[in-house]
Amino acid sequence: MTTLPSRRTRVHATWSAVFGVVPDKGLHRRPTEVLRILGGLALLALGALNATRVGPLEQSVHDAVGHLPDPLLTGLRWINTTGAVIAIAIVLIVALISRRPRFIASVVLAGAAALVVGRVLDSLIGAPTDGGHPLPGYPPFPSLRLAVVAAVFFAATPELTRPARRLLTLLLGVIGVSLIAVTGGYPTGILGAIGLAWTLAAIVHLVLGSPDGAPSTAAVAEDLRSLGIDTNDLRAAEDQLWGETAFIGTDADGPIRVAVIGRDATNAQFLTKLVRFIWMKDSGPGIAATREQQIEHRAYLLMRAERGGVPAPTVIDSGAVGSRGDVVLVLRDTNGVRLDDTDEGARTDAFLDAAWRSLERLHRVGIAHGSISARTLRLAQDGTVAFTDLATADARPSPDALRLDHVALLVTLADLTSAERAVASARRALDTDALIAVQPLLEATALPRVTRRSITDAKHLTAEVGQQVASVTGVTPEKLTELRRVTPANILLAAATVLGFYLLLGQLTKIDFATTFDQAEWGWVVVVAILAQLPLFGTAMALLGAVSRPLPLRPVFILQFANKFTGLVGGGVATMAMLVRFFQKQGFSPAVAVSSSLMTSFASGIVQFVLVGLGLLLGDATIHLSHSGGGSSGLTEKLAIALAAVLLVAIVLALIPRFRHRLLGLIGPHLVAARTNFTTVVSEPRKAVQLFAGNFISQFCYALVLWAALHTYGESLGILQLIVINSIASIIGGIAPVPGGMGVIEAGLIAGFTAAGVPDQAAIAATFTARTFTAYLPPAWGWLAMEWMHRNDYI
């Protein structure tokens, strides 16, 4: 490796480079804008909940800012009025000077939309009026001036360089503080203004698009000159890796490849990388907080591979350079032809063996590639198969990561030649045990995303390769768990179950449902509907923690919606079957799949029992079971009798030797597998945190749903009380042999609410409002989720 620190030359940044606009190379409509919309709506809803009252904390913050020294208040007053106008004017001037119609339209549309929507919200949610004048003592919602300024700033940020973005962020914070001190604003109004502005700016970016901020070819050439590297024919590379821009060219010593992460590139922002890393699992095995760390880690992997004799690019230089502070990695590119560009005559057995040798060298130095495909390998003139880069490599790979490399190379070679020749070459390179170990991973959805996208029919090819591996090893892979189609009879049975319990509860309580629901505050119903989707993130997180290998969040999260449908129409057996099949499609054995599901349920039970115990010990969750109300005491007694009967039957069956031995014979192997998997997962702190924290988040979010449902009817209980009530109802519902605990959970929630002092009508209405969005409606989009899983071969 050759390092050239002495050749760096100092390039002074210009004002246009620091406080200018980013290169206008291309437009993007990013999926992360949808997340920003959801985040903005959440902030807006959070502020709207307390818009017409001032809490003690808000009042103390308002008073603290109001007692600042007079000179500071004078400065804040100027910023709040003249400063805000000047800031907006500067942004508009920059937009006009840039001569970009999209930039100008984005700023104008966002500001105008914030003004209009803010006034509408103020008339709907703001302070009540008397003769057209707001009554004193009520904070404005949202803070209209801040909403307009923030919308303009948020709309402009993708167009501006990073220093300018930071300056706008700082200025926005100062304007927010000045609102509290000068115009009587309160934190809720400020929170609502930021949420509204963030939402509107994201919508504008989705409609009009925004630049990616990637550096131009001329800017990269300037960066390289500051390193003392003169290039010829520098141009954008055909293959681009997400989060950076790649260029290829030549210097005096041969071909070079330059990876650039621009200072102003929006894909280089930590939040964007974090979301893509969790959701897609395709931005490498880890997540770097800064651009410098990302490039340094990659250079370290390449140098480590070079010392181990791995055919891969070598590092020439790296670091933050140039007037713009772009971070570059300059590589001596490997000569040769990409595998997908080779002709069939070059794809000999020697070529296949060379590919396996290169991968073995990489694994020998402790590195997993992570994205092997015909586009990431090259055939050199001397017959060596070289890696084009190690951008997604893992320096501390798990055994599964190494096996996935084997599978990716095996499938890639099968696509280039044939399944028979590819498996024969793998047989020459790997022993029989290694080939048997890759069999569970021969599923299209288990392949790395890059590999899967480079193959025309990954599902058919992996099946063909799997058959060849089975014939060579003599080991037949375990059959996928069968998913039975739901029949109309199942759906009718589920509908009858829902209707039956609805009529039963109506008969027990003798409540006029129409009158009760007429008293609902429909704004809170919207909040319930939004909060009801959050527990699924917790269960998805727990499921990720129940397996040793990392999985992308997206299919796991969608799986939680699909479980709502299968749980209703088929009960726990159907849900378990779908979980097992999903894990098998990800390359896990059925034993691990079953044990992971059982471990998630086991961890959920532990979390529920701990939360119930803490709630009862701390005293905030005191529930008076003697509380009387029209029908609530009867429900409590019936629940107690039903629970006692279930426990009695379980004890009697456990005392029968024949039944006990048969039960242990059925579940014994699964318990052993669960214990082994549990020990493996818990030994890794990160996985243990995911497992238990995910279940806690789920229970906490369910409590938030109940809290919002009670507020819908003017009632309220403490969060700890609600966690206890929900946990007890869930435990009882899990014991009952009813799909989804339908009817039983409702009875448990109503009994818990009334025992905690909530009136009967409000308890029943809140229960059915919460369950509408957590149990009754989710199966509808759960069916759509299951169809998506089928189409994408996840189940």
Q: Which residue has the higher pLDDT, 539 or 488?
A: 539
201-205, 509-513, 676-680, 736-740: which is most confident: 201-205
pLDDT of residue 628: 41
Backbone angles phi, psi at 439, to 5 degrees: -60, -45
Q: What is the pLDDT of residues 390-431, one digit of tens each?
A: 888 888 887 888 888 999 999 999 988 888 899 999 988 888
pLDDT of residue 440: 81
Q: Which two tokens stand for residue 255?
A: 């071909």
Q: What is the pLDDT of the chain when averaged over all its residues?
A: 75
How far is the C-alpha of 443 from the C-alpha of 469, rounded, in Å? 13
pLDDT of residue 11: 46
Q: What's the average model confidence in pLDDT over 585-598?
A: 72
How far is the C-alpha of 44 from the C-alpha of 143, rounded, in Å? 11
Poorest-pLDDT segment among 83-87, 155-159, 322-326: 322-326
pLDDT of residue 18: 53
**For helices 590-618 and 685-712, angle between their N-to-C axes, nearest 10 degrees:** 50
Q: Which residue has the higher pLDDT, 372 or 647?
A: 372
pLDDT band at 7 (very low <50, low <70, confident <90, very high): very low
| Statement: the pTM of the whole predicted model exceeds 0.75 | no
User: Is the pLDDT at 629 greater than 50, yes or no?
Assistant: no
Poorest-pLDDT segment among 346-350, 495-499, 583-587: 495-499
Whether the bond between 5 and the residue before it is cis, its omega within 30 degrees of 0, is: no
How far is the C-alpha of 587 from the C-alpha of 478, rounded, in Å? 11
- Which of 210, 203, 267, 216 has its CA nearest to residue 27? 210
pLDDT of residue 356: 92
Poorest-pLDDT segment among 133-137, 371-375, 765-769: 133-137
Confirm if 276 and 282 have CB atoms less than 8 A apart. yes
How far is the C-alpha of 408 from the C-alpha of 359, rounded, in Å? 11
Residue type, 696: F
Tokens 């957590």 correspond to 774
How far is the C-alpha of 300 from the C-alpha of 296, rounded, in Å? 6
User: Is the pLDDT at 130 greater than 80, yes or no?
Assistant: no
Confirm if 469 and 500 have CB atoms less than 8 A apart. no
Residue type, 58: E
Helix ranges (H only) for 67-208 are 70-78, 84-98, 101-125, 144-156, 162-182, 187-208
**DSSP letter string, 611-675:** HHHHHHHHSTT---TT---TTHHHHHHHHHHHHHHHHHHHHHHHH-HHHHHHHHHHHHHHHHHHH
pLDDT over 90 for what percent of the chain?
3
Half-sphere exposure of 298 (CA within 13 A, CB side): 33
pLDDT of residue 409: 92
How far is the C-alpha of 630 from the C-alpha of 183, rounded, in Å? 50
User: Which contiguous run of DSSP H or E holds residue 29?
Assistant: none
Spatial CB neighbours of 67, under 8 Å, sequence gap ≥ 6:
none
**DSSP letter string, 152-171:** HHHHHGGGB-HHHHHHHHHH
- Which of 570, 510, 499, 596 has its CA nearest to residue 739? 570
- Which of 420, 702, 386 has its CA nearest to residue 539? 702
pLDDT of residue 6: 42
